[in-house]
Structure 1
Amino acid sequence: MKKLKKLAAAAVIGTAAIAALSLGGCAKKEQGTIKIASKPMTEQYVLTEIIGQLIEHDLGVKVEITKGVGGGTTNIQPALLKGDFDLYPEYTGTGWLTVLKKEQENDSDVLYENLQKGYEEMGLHWTGLYGFQNSYTLAVRKEAADQYSLKTFTDLAAVSDQLVFGGNPDYMEREDGFNYLASAYNMNFKDVKDIDIALKYTAMADKQIDVTNAYTTDAQLSVADVSLLEDDQHIFATYYGATVVRQDTLKKYPKLSETLEKLTGQISDDEMRAMNYAVEVDQKDEKDVAKDFLTEKGLLK
């Protein structure tokens, strides 16, 4: 991510140019409604609340959030192109692989630069790289990670015959799931178990399994006694979170670009995990979690 900040800065210039095309000045309160969509997952509910509350605070524009759009990107992307939505939070790897249908690109800087170009051709713009990425990783019981000094997937491969892997069924069956991982790193676990996704970390705490697949922003990682390993061969795409917005929406609301860019680099993996945990486990309302986050960051006055 060494160049992503520079690319994000370039995006500010680009959106400023888009805003300059708009006629007239910007009143204290802009008229209209900005429509935001989210995928059906806790993280997206929190992100859309963060974005929505920040827009209402900065621009005084009414925000309408549609949460949990079935099919996620598959249905949100065409609706965004039609103008049914103005913006939504997305992940770079998803945009690259699913929307643009490109081959995997392991250099996150090259990916983002070309992703931006591809989306601009569709009248869309990426902005406000949040800082975290929701990517595939492996979680290992901390006791086992310490015992074998595990830091990377390669480290794990060397001792995999001493450990038990447990994964949720869909991960075990997917093309880019367990078999892909095991083949790429030549892993040969002592045993492999199917574990319900909701029970993975419990099974690990009970020492039924030693290793499991995870997403870097899984809520349970906030409290689970595990170590996350580095995909040192970069076999998985990077999934940095950012906002995808229609160019004509940026023209209509000249200050929107500046507002969305305020989220650049503001959310770490740990912070996103903690917010997911607050909603999923502590049963807090995502609106309150978002407000607390924005207040703590000094983005709400």
Structure 2
Amino acid sequence: MKVRLAAAVLAAFSLTACSGGVTSLDPADSGSKDAGAIVVGTANFSENVILGHLYAGVLKAKGMSVTVKPNLGSREIIVPALQQGDIDVLPEYQGSLLQYLDKNAKQTSAEDVQAALTPVLPKGLKVLPYAGAENKDVFVVTKETADKYKLKTLDDLKAASAELVLGGPAEDKTRYVGLIGLKEVYGVEFKDFKSLDAGGPLTRGALEGGDIQVANLFSTDVTIKNKGWVVLEDSKDLVPAQHVAPLINETKATAEVTAALALLNDKLTTDELSKLDAKVDNDKEDPDKVAEAWLKQQGLTS
């Protein structure tokens, strides 16, 4: 019951966000955008919002006019918005983006994924060099579930999956790094699937409360370590490299913009990104303030 209610609340929120709540995609906004300004858009989860403010911060530090349009929704919304010029750049994740664009993509290494992206990108879009930071999809169980079913790897799930419920974003039903790939690569078929959120509080709460037994979370989520949950090893490389990389409209991919965003690449490690996530998700700090403080600490802004 708790899961059904939570899912209903999420659905209502998502519907609102896709209508009046998405300011940068509102018809009233068309034509009002300053041609010289850069609009950074983000998906609707906290880490991506943090990244959006990091992008904005390094661009502003170079004297550019920048605004952030956060929480715009899924790729089905924000990638077309990027093509149409409603937004100019967004933080992406290599492997997830590749599999969104090419359902048959099987590349796994960071270099191979990056190379495979260029020929399948929609016209007018460009992916810039990726950062050291990586946030991969992971499949997580509680220690109690791991002990009960002797789970250490995704291979181990096969024998027990008929008794287990997977929870994660709705896209898990149709994407390769989800039900399709788990069945194809590991022979896993779950008792049920619960559509929740993208590595957020609904999924974490359902796992902790026992409404689901396996959760699709993000590798940078400090809750996993704090709760003593077990990340199941992906021994057959179902999940590709998912380094953070800017996806940009080519009209704004100037040398100055590209160089400014590249300043993040060495400093933004997976460990640093995880710390930033913790400040927002655990300490309830504002994403823009967290990003601003980190950029100053790293010497990227004054």
TM-score calculated relative to the size of structure 2: 0.70
Distance in 1 (CA, whole Å) between partners of 2:196 and 2:116 is 37
Q: Which residue of 1 aligns with 2:276?
A: 275
Percent identity for Structure 1 against Structure 2: 23
Q: Do 1:129 and 1:263's aligned partners in 2 also have CA atoms closer than 8 Å?
A: no
Q: Which residue of 1 aligns with 2:116?
A: 114
Q: Do 1:219 and 1:280's aligned partners in 2 also have CA atoms closer than 8 Å?
A: no
Distance in 2 (CA, whole Å) between partners of 1:78 and 1:231 is 32
Partner secondary structure for residue 244 of structure 1 = strand
Q: 1:23-57: CA deviations, max 9, x gaps? A: xxxxxxxx931111112221121011001011111
Q: Which residue of 1 aligns with 2:167?
A: 168
Q: Do 1:116 and 1:126's aligned partners in 2 also have CA atoms closer than 8 Å?
A: yes
Unaligned stretches of 5+ residues in structure 2: 1-34
Distance in 2 (CA, whole Å) between partners of 1:224 and 1:147 is 17
Q: CA RMSD in A?
A: 3.5
TM-score calculated relative to the size of structure 1: 0.70
Shift of 1:106: 2.7
Q: Which amino acid aligns with 1:32?
A: G
Distance in 1 (CA, whole Å) between partners of 2:72 and 2:78 is 7
Partner secondary structure for residue 38 of structure 2 = strand
Q: Which residue of 1 aligns with 2:72?
A: 69
Aligned residues: 262
Distance in 1 (CA, whole Å) between partners of 2:145 and 2:168 is 23
Matches for 1:84-233 after TM superposition, within 5 Å: 84-99=86-101, 101-108=102-109, 109-119=111-121, 122-142=123-143, 151-154=152-155, 156-157=156-157, 160=160, 165-168=164-167, 174-176=173-175, 177-178=178-179, 180-182=181-183, 184-187=185-188, 198=201, 201=204, 211-218=214-221, 220-221=223-224, 223-233=226-236
Q: Which residue of 1 aligns with 2:48?
A: 44
Distance in 1 (CA, whole Å) between partners of 2:168 and 2:95 is 23
Unaligned stretches of 5+ residues in structure 1: 1-30
Q: 1:85-107: CA deviations, max 9, x gaps? A: 221111223432323x3512233
Distance in 2 (CA, whole Å) between partners of 1:193 and 1:105 is 24
Shift of 1:169: 6.9
Shift of 1:82: 2.8
Q: Do 2:166 and 2:213's aligned partners in 1 also have CA atoms closer than 8 Å?
A: no
Q: 1:169 to 1:132 in 2, by over 3 A?
A: closer
Q: 1:122 to 1:169 in 2, by over 3 A?
A: closer
Distance in 2 (CA, whole Å) between partners of 1:40 and 1:173 is 16
Q: Which amino acid aligns with 1:53?
A: G
